[in-house]
Structure 1
Amino acid sequence: MKVARTVRRRGKGGDRIKPLPISIRFVIIFCLILIPFFIVNNINISHNRKHQILETRYNHAIDTATQDAAKALITNASQSAEAQYEFQKRLRINKEEAAQTFFNSLYLNFNVFNDPIGQGVIQNYVPVILIVGYDGYYVYYMDEYTNAIGQKELKHVWSPKKPYAHKDQNGNTFAFTLDDFVTVNRNADQKWFEGFRGEIASTAGISLLNDAQTFDQVRRASIVNAIQKDLEYYINKYNNYAKRIGVAYTFTLPLISQEQWNNTVNDVGVLSFVQGIPMGEKYYNNYALGGSRLVKKPVYNGIIANGRKYYYSTNSCTSTFTTVEIFTTEKDAASNGYIPLDCAVGNRQ
């Protein structure tokens, strides 16, 4: 930028200064006004770039930790106890291993694996971790306790297992799972029914069991509402503790899309929250969902109809006959004398 200058002219009256043109003076004033804005803008751009890089790093750390935890969720001490469906009714999970793996991964990513003080700081940024199980969920939340020397401390503890419960307008209660296996208590006579929705619908005589789509909608809504309610409760509970120890940040349940909530109840997994990490004038606040990605083995029900043995897959057929045996492969069913059931015939029986 060319610098404007005055021009001295010598004449009879001595030296005199010729004033700058109005247009040039206007340009100078305009530049003096804009220069501070340019400087501040450049500083903000630099800070935003650093924040984006830092946020990307934190996102990677929490995503990796959550996925590692989800994998550890189905890891057990012995091969014989590996996570598996028992007639597709129960899935064994190792929530303690999942939580420890989650924090170990965070410690590595934040370079505090051998730093107990740094690990304590990281733990304070994790208000809750939620384990989504097949027939219920657990919350790993911060709670206050008195240590060996009588001082109060905050520590992550496990909640009891919380079932996916629902009660309809007629007083019937349901214990849902991540698929259509359900336990029902009929209010009229307090009779219990347990099995896949299609298998117990006719005998239970409860309207919710009659339509698969309505059943699935109610099941998902019940699970999501229960999880949301508990997450809000435990995060608010941690806020009460955090304020007493001087934490200015307010922990909140992040806005999670309906699609993400649907993914949460599709599979056994881990839902984690990391909040309150300082990032200049802002704070990091995010969550991650890690699914165990289990490949569920198909289930084949063996029944006896008209004196003959049949087997069918619960994914494609329904039958009013009582299940005698359950198999995980068609080969096993056939080797025990069962033949495939014609679904069209089975649905009419």
Structure 2
Amino acid sequence: MGDTREDLQVFNQDMYKRYSDDFQAAVDDAGDYLSRLEQQPTTTAVHYGRERQLQLDQDVLSVFYSNLALKFGLENNQTEMNNLKMHIPALVMFGYSGYTLVTLDDTASDSGKDELKPVSWPERPYYYKLQNGNLLYFTLDDNARVYDTSSNEFYEGEYTTLAAETNLNPLTSIELFHEIRQSTITSLVEKDLATAINRHLELVKRMGLSIQFTL
């Protein structure tokens, strides 16, 4: 019995590493693809509207799912790929000034069969409400924008520039700016992920499936 338990533990560890490595590889490839897409407006001066952005989101998802299918040998098995998707309640794509949440929807295909389709939520900005009621929009570096609600004006620039032009309390130092930026982005994503996971549980129940949680 001891040997059996040890063999099972080794097997589980190997499987965990395999799944972890395969998912990480798919995430890395999709992230690299997204990074190259985000550089295009800077390098080519091309700016995309919302419709084009949605298409780009779908392109990134296709890269991610294609890599997963290749890793698990599911390139030509849509049913098994749907089963794998059910284990991914949500995906978050981090952009420079905001993030996009992706969840699954069960929709009817042209043939009338239910199919799982990834749906992109509207992009969420990294925003924080200042003590004076103004809104601060973070980016992934020290650049930010402040919306002055009283004058209906925007201030944009690095932290030092913004601090000289408008009131940023309680962000009274660059260290606090970094700390609050990180906690703001984390809390916004955690809140949306909680909503997405609850939504995924409802989807699973609707499909007549159940979820088993482990430690």
Same fold (TM over 0.5): yes
| 1:201 matched to 2:163 | yes
Aligned partners of 2:90 and 2:101 also within 8 Å: yes
Q: TM-score, normalised by structure 2?
A: 0.84
Sequence identity (%): 26
Q: Which amino acid aligns with 1:111?
A: G
Equivalent residue, structure 2, for 1:63: 24
**Equivalent residues in 2 for 1:26-175 (5 A)?**
40-76=1-37, 82-83=39-40, 85=42, 94-148=56-110, 152-175=114-137
Alpha-carbon RMSD across the aligned residues, in angstroms, is: 2.6
Q: Which amino acid aligns with 1:215?
A: F
Residue correspondences, number? 206
Equivalent residue, structure 2, for 1:238: 200
Aligned partners of 2:147 and 2:154 also within 8 Å: yes
Aligned partners of 1:197 and 1:209 also within 8 Å: no
Where 1:175 maps in the other structure, the secondary structure is: strand
Counterpart-to-counterpart distance in 1, 2:85 and 2:73: 14
- Structure 1 pair 177/168, CA: closer, same or farther in 2 (3 Å)? same
Counterpart-to-counterpart distance in 1, 2:171 and 2:130: 12
Deviation at 1:228, TM superposition (A): 0.7
**Equivalent residues in 2 for 1:309-328 (5 A)?**
none
Equivalent residue, structure 2, for 1:192: 154
Structure 2 unaligned segments of length 5 or more: list them.
48-52
Which structure carries more helix by proportion?
2
Deviation at 1:55, TM superposition (A): 1.4
Q: TM-score, normalised by structure 1?
A: 0.54
Counterpart-to-counterpart distance in 2, 1:75 and 1:191: 32
CA offset digits 1:248-270 (Å, max 9, x no partner): 2157xxxxxxxxxxxxxxxxxxx
Counterpart-to-counterpart distance in 2, 1:167 and 1:66: 32
Deviation at 1:234, TM superposition (A): 0.5
- Whichever of the two has the greater Rg, that structure is 1
Which structure carries more strand by proportion?
1
Aligned partners of 2:22 and 2:68 also within 8 Å: yes
Q: List 4+ stretches of structure 1 deviating above 4 A.
A: 149-153
Aligned partners of 2:137 and 2:145 also within 8 Å: yes
Counterpart-to-counterpart distance in 1, 2:186 and 2:212: 23
Deviation at 1:190, TM superposition (A): 3.4
Aligned partners of 1:181 and 1:194 also within 8 Å: yes
Counterpart-to-counterpart distance in 2, 1:109 and 1:153: 22
Q: Which amino acid aligns with 1:50?
A: F
Counterpart-to-counterpart distance in 2, 1:216 and 1:133: 17
Structure 1 unaligned segments of length 5 or more: list them.
1-39, 252-281, 284-349
Counterpart-to-counterpart distance in 2, 1:51 and 1:101: 28
CA offset digits 1:187-230 (Å, max 9, x no partner): 44333211222112212233345421111211111111101111
Between 1:164-173 and 1:207-216, the stretch displaced more is: 207-216
